[in-house]
Homo-oligomer: A and B are copies of this chain.
Amino acid sequence: MSRVFNFAAGPAMMPEEALERAAAEMLSYKGTGMSVMEMSHRSSAYQEIFDRTVRLLRELMGIPDEYEVLLLQGGATGQFAAVPMNLLKTGADYVDSGNFAHGAFVEAQKYGNARVIASSREESYARVPDVDAGAIDPDADYVYITTNNTIYGTRFTRLPDCGKVPLVADMSSNILSEPYDVRDFGVIFAGAQKNIGPAGLTVVVVRKDLLGHARPDTPKIFDWAKQAQAGSMLNTPATYAIYMAGLCLEWLKKEGGVRVICMRNQVKAKLLYDFLDESRLFRGTAARESRSLMNVTFRTPSPETDAAFVKFAAAQGLVNLKGHRLVGGMRASIYNAMPVEGVTRLVEAMKQFEAEGIAR
């Protein structure tokens, strides 16, 4: 059972020991005689599992008591609607830094006055746009950003100064990868399938004073205040995904938490970017000042050579390096669970491919 290095953008690699625990506990969780999948979400055995996941999230992200942690369904795309449904009254300011940011803006327009205050759309999202503090309406309900742009391989290296306006962040593709001060945000949300756990779980961290203002026609599963009141169990949550997230977070804690994993992520990203900066064949596509630690996008001079490299790498157990269909090229997603060894081997493969290609 040889495992590959999986550079997929998400769902993506998970810690092997979390998977091993899950396999071992599949038919009977800690003497209960049942799988976690078979547990009533109202049982005390399951509530412990749920609480542990929330506790680990709070600990690893340093989430203060004045924030609720909700474990919901529907993905980040579901929150593209839930955010304006819960918060948008007079107007909201969106930063259009990529495809998902744009999708969130389009969705928000269904519910009110959403404006784009900064955009790199015209530059094919090769960098994160500057946000001029003067562009933010001081009366806006919120400012919206996407901290890391999965498709383009860019990230905010500095948060916009929003004054008293709450900052809402889609952190799907870099949550738990580097330290953030939760107090800088009004709301953080993330689909789990990159750095938290399996797909089908959505984490929402929301400052308590922002609860209770949902539109009357908000579907109740999207009403943060109602979900907070029900302990995220207004209906049956994604019980097994929450358990798996707990196992992954335990691994992260054991590895040393976010500060330590961030150092490792920086090492991994630097290995790739340093090589890209010196390579004669491969070049990085994201603007240097916006480079992501999680998704490294690059290309060769031709789509044919790109395809040849993707195939060459796959033969060495380095899989899913093809870039997103919107941008082409290659993308190496190197989330928390990607070992340094995977990146080292990728760089080796790139060097070998380049040397052999040049020799030809």
User: What residues of chain A have their CB less than 8 Å away from a CB belonging to chain B?
Assistant: 1-4, 6, 8-14, 16, 19-20, 22-24, 26-28, 32-35, 37-41, 43, 73-78, 80-82, 85, 107, 110-111, 191, 193, 198-201, 216-217, 219-222, 234-241, 244, 317, 319-320
Q: State the 10 A-B residue pairs at the shortest beta-carbon distance, nearest first.
A: A200-B238, A81-B219, A4-B33, A77-B235, A23-B26, A8-B40, A73-B73, A75-B235, A200-B200, A1-B28
Whether B199 pairs with A239 at a CB distance below 8 angstroms is: yes
Provide the bound-state CA to CA distance between A22 and B22, in Å.
10
Whether A27 pairs with B23 at a CB distance below 8 angstroms is: yes
- Closest residue of chain B to A219, judged by CB? B81
A77-B221, A221-B74, A235-B76 given; A35·B19 CB < 8 A: yes
Provide the bound-state CA to CA distance between A12 and B39, in Å.
6
24 pairs, A vs B, C-beta closer than 8 Å? A3-B28, A6-B34, A8-B40, A8-B43, A11-B37, A11-B38, A11-B41, A11-B236, A14-B38, A20-B26, A20-B27, A22-B26, A23-B27, A34-B319, A37-B198, A40-B320, A76-B235, A80-B220, A81-B221, A107-B219, A191-B236, A200-B237, A219-B219, A238-B241
Whether A75 pairs with B73 at a CB distance below 8 angstroms is: yes
- Distance from A282 Cβ to chain B, minimum over Cβ atoms (Å): 22
- Distance from A114 Cβ to chain B, minimum over Cβ atoms (Å): 13
Among B1, B14, B35, B77, which residue has its beta carbon within 8 angstroms of that of A14?
B35
Whether B40 pairs with A11 at a CB distance below 8 angstroms is: yes
A26-B19, A27-B16, A81-B220 given; A10·B75 CB < 8 A: no
Whether A217 pairs with B111 at a CB distance below 8 angstroms is: yes
- Closest residue of chain B to A14, judged by CB? B38
Provide the bound-state CA to CA distance between A24 and B2, in Å.
14
Whether A10 pairs with B74 at a CB distance below 8 angstroms is: no
- Distance from A29 Cβ to chain B, minimum over Cβ atoms (Å): 10
Provide the bound-state CA to CA distance between A244 and B191, in Å.
20
Among B4, B6, B76, B236, which residue has its beta carbon within 8 angstroms of that of A199?
B236
Among B4, B24, B239, which residue has its beta carbon within 8 angstroms of that of A34?
B4
Provide the bound-state CA to CA distance between A134 and B181, in Å.
61
Among B2, B74, B201, which residue has its beta carbon within 8 angstroms of that of A28?
B2
